[in-house]
Amino acid sequence: MAAHHTEQKVLTVHHWSDRLFSLTCTRDPNFRFENGQFVMLGLMVDGKPLMRAYSMVSASYEETLEFYSIKVPEGPLTSRLQHVTPGDTLLIGTRAVGTLHIRNLKPGRRLWLLCTGTGLAPFLSVVKDPAVWDAFEQVIVVHGVREVKDLSYRDFFERDLLQHEYFGEQARQKLVYLPTVTREDFACRGRITDMLRDGRLAARVGIAALTPAEDRVMICGSTEMLKETMALLEERHFAEGDTHEQGDFLIEKAFVTR
Ligand SMILES: Cc1cc2nc3c(=O)[nH]c(=O)nc-3n(C[C@H](O)[C@H](O)[C@H](O)COP(=O)(O)OP(=O)(O)OC[C@H]3O[C@@H](n4cnc5c(N)ncnc54)[C@H](O)[C@@H]3O)c2cc1C
């Protein structure tokens, strides 16, 4: 039987805060994935693999893999994973899956990437896809968090992406990066769903409301966030897409509540 995972080495670890960190690791040359997909990642614990779903932050063409993780204090995996250091062994599944790919969306003018917390992870991969910059006139990344310190990857959106060798120029013209905070003072305050409902999101790009004629949406967040956002889009006649049928919006869970 084919192996379900390979052993890879941790290369770097970056702690954003007491709740969040990112790591990079080696990539098996046979491991293929598409931007926006997720894979099982884990550690050997008591002689058994302990695996959880993780979205790739890295783009499909990059030589190493990057992941963005929560630290759940009592979490079986992340209570351990947060302590890995360069050289440690990680287990990476051999098969990547997921729906967050522009192929699963009908053509449109604007691409909205709506996420909360670590739900940002797949969109870091999506925006590194050159096809995304060719396919849309605008790409709007809305990252909702509780506190300002949870806004990881701000420099990536505010600086690195805009200077990217291949699509930096397109990003400078087309990217709208909108970080929003719910529990502290910040330039943009509020929940994504409220901002979608009251027109604040639409106003950011000079339109009255999102419409299925022009807007395409990918959503990654908690089950509650997904439910509420989907309901708002369905009220406006947006149709959900998946790997079998193109739609106006796509969803992926950022985590499941156990
Ligand atoms: C499709 C998919 C993709 C995922 N991608 C990522 C990712 O890129 N990064 C990541 O950190 N996690 C991701 N997760 C969640 C991940 O699979 C684990 O749940 C997480 O690593 C915690 O594992 P654990 O064993 O420590 O605790 P678990 O027992 O898995 O979780 C314990 C509790 O912690 C909370 N929780 C778990 N994950 C999160 C989270 N990310 N944000 C907020 N609360 C959480 C939930 O309430 C859960 O009940 C993803 C989950 C799914 C289903």
pLDDT of residue 57: 98
Query: Sorting pLDDT into bands at 50, 70 and 90, what band is 2?
Result: low
CA dist 239 and 218 (Å) reads 12
Return the DSSP state at 225. Answer: H
Q: Which residue is closest in CA terms to ligand 1's atom 39? A: 255
pLDDT, tens digit, for every residue of 99-153? 999 999 999 999 999 999 999 999 999 999 999 999 999 999 999 999 999 999 9
- Which atom, in ligand 1's list, is nearest to the CA of 52? 17
DSSP string covering 115-184? EEGGGGHHHHHHTT-HHHHHH-SEEEEEEEESSGGG-TTHHIIIIIGGG-TTTHHHHHHHEEEEEEESSS
pLDDT of residue 29: 95
pLDDT, tens digit, for every residue of 163-209? 999 999 999 999 999 999 999 999 999 999 999 999 999 999 999 99
Most ligand 1 atoms within 8 A of CB, residue of 70, 80, 115, 143 to mutate = 70
What the block records as the tokens of 190 is 């509020």
Residue 1 has pLDDT above 60, yes or no: no
- Which atom, in ligand 1's list, is nearest to the CA of 74? 26
What's the whole-number mean pLDDT along residues 35-48?
97
What the block records as the tokens of 117 is 């917390």
Radius of gyration in angstroms for the set of CA atoms belonging to the chain, rounded to a whole number: 18
Half-sphere exposure of 241 (CA within 13 A, CB side): 22
21 C-alpha to ligand 1 centroid (Å): 13
* Ligand 1 environment, Cβ below 6 A: 38, 52-55, 68-70, 72, 75-79, 117-118, 121, 252-258
Residue 256 has pLDDT above 90, yes or no: no
What's the whole-number mean pLDDT along residues 221-227?
95
pLDDT, tens digit, for every residue of 17-28? 999 999 999 999
Most ligand 1 atoms within 8 A of CB, residue of 18, 50, 65, 72 to mutate = 72
pLDDT of residue 258: 77
Residue 62 burial (C-beta neighbours within 10 Å; 0-12, 13-18, 19+): middle
Share of the chain above pLDDT 70, in %: 99
pLDDT of residue 146: 96
Number of other CB atoms surrounding residue 32 within 10 Å: 11
Where does 3-61 show beta strands of DSSP type E?
5-15, 20-25, 38-45, 48-55
Most ligand 1 atoms within 8 A of CB, residue of 90, 255, 256, 257 to mutate = 255
Residues 6 or more apart whose CB falls under 8 angstroms from that of 185 comprise none
In order of their start, the domains of the chain are 5-93 (2.40.30.10), 102-253 (3.40.50.80)
First to last CA, the chain: 30
